[in-house]
Amino acid sequence: MKCALAITTMAVALAAFAADATAPRKVRPRGMAKQSGGIVERSYNGKVLRVYNAQKAVPTDVVAKAVRETRLSAQLPIEVVPLEAPDDVTVAGAAKLANEQDVGAAVVMAETPGQATILSSPDGRWAILNVAGIGSDAAKAEQRFRKLLWNAVAHALGAGNTGDRGCVLRGFCTMQDLDGIAALNPSPMAHNAMIEVAATRGIGMISFASYRTACQQGWAPAPTNDVQKAIWDETRKLPEKPIQIKFDPKKGR
C-alpha cells in the first residue's frame, strides 16, 4: 500500500512538473531590463606596478592592450608609461625606477638583442622584459608578448614560475616553448601569491562594478553620458512614498 502511494505521489509530481514546463511563460519585452551604465573602476590611492616602455618592436597599441588586459585580470593597478631615458634599461636603472615614490614594483620593457628575455629581482621589486626575440609575425608576437608580460609582472612581484599546466607562468627556454603554453593567465594559486606579495609592497587590489552598482554603493564617478546621468538621478531620488513608522507608546516604555 505504501509503495502504491509513493508511486502515485511521484506520478502526480511529474505531471505537475510537465504541466508547468509546457505552460506559456511571460517574456519581458525588449528594453525593459534596467541599463547598467557600463563598467567603472573605483578610485584607487595606493602604489602601482608601473611598466616603463623603452622599446619599439611591439607597437604602442599592442602594449596598451596587453597592459589593460593584465590589469583587469590581475585586479592590480598596473599602468604603462614611456621611458624617456632608454639608457635606464639596466639593472641599476630598473632598481631606481622601482623606487619611485608611487611605485610598488616596476617592469622595464627593453629591446636588446642577445640578452636574456627576462631579468628580475624579486627583492628589488623589478623585472626587465627584453622583446628582441619576439619575432616578426604580428599575431604570434602579440600572443608571445602577452605571456611575457605576465611573466615579467609575476617576477617583479615575487611569484616566479609554476609547474601548473593551466598557468601562463610555466617555465620556458625558447619562444617555441612559450608558444606551447596554452594558458594566457596565471593559475589561482599563482595569482594569489602575486596579490599577497603586492600587498606587502603597498600595491592594493582594484575593483570594478557596473555604474548602477557603483551609484547604489555610493562611490560612482560623475556621469559621462545620458544613460549614466539617468542612473545617477534615479539612485539619488527620494522615494515618493517613504515608509512611515507610527509611534507606539506601549513600545516606547
Question: What range defines the domain where residue 66 resides?
Answer: 46-200
Residue 228 within any structural domain of the chain: no
pLDDT value, residue 136: 85
For the chain, percent helix, then strand, then coil, each to nearest 5?
Answer: 40, 15, 45
pLDDT value, residue 5: 42
pLDDT value, residue 86: 64
210: buried, middle or exposed (CB in 10 Å: 19+, 13-18, 0-12)?
middle
Residue 180 within any structural domain of the chain: yes
Residue 140 within any structural domain of the chain: yes
pLDDT value, residue 248: 73
Domain count, the chain: 1
Residue 99 within any structural domain of the chain: yes
Name the strands in the sheet holding 103-110, side by side, starting at the edge strand that comes first in the sequence.
78-82, 48-53, 103-110, 126-130, 118-121
Which CATH number fits the domain that encloses residue 155? Answer: 3.40.390.10
pLDDT value, residue 22: 40
Residue 243 within any structural domain of the chain: no
pLDDT value, residue 33: 53
Residue 188 within any structural domain of the chain: yes
Per-residue pLDDT of the chain (253 residues), as tens digits, is 444 444 444 343 434 434 444 444 444 444 445 688 998 999 899 999 999 999 999 999 999 999 999 999 999 999 999 987 766 578 899 999 999 999 999 999 999 998 999 999 989 999 999 999 998 889 999 999 999 999 999 999 988 788 888 899 999 999 999 999 999 999 999 999 999 999 999 999 999 899 999 999 999 999 999 999 999 999 888 666 667 777 777 765 5
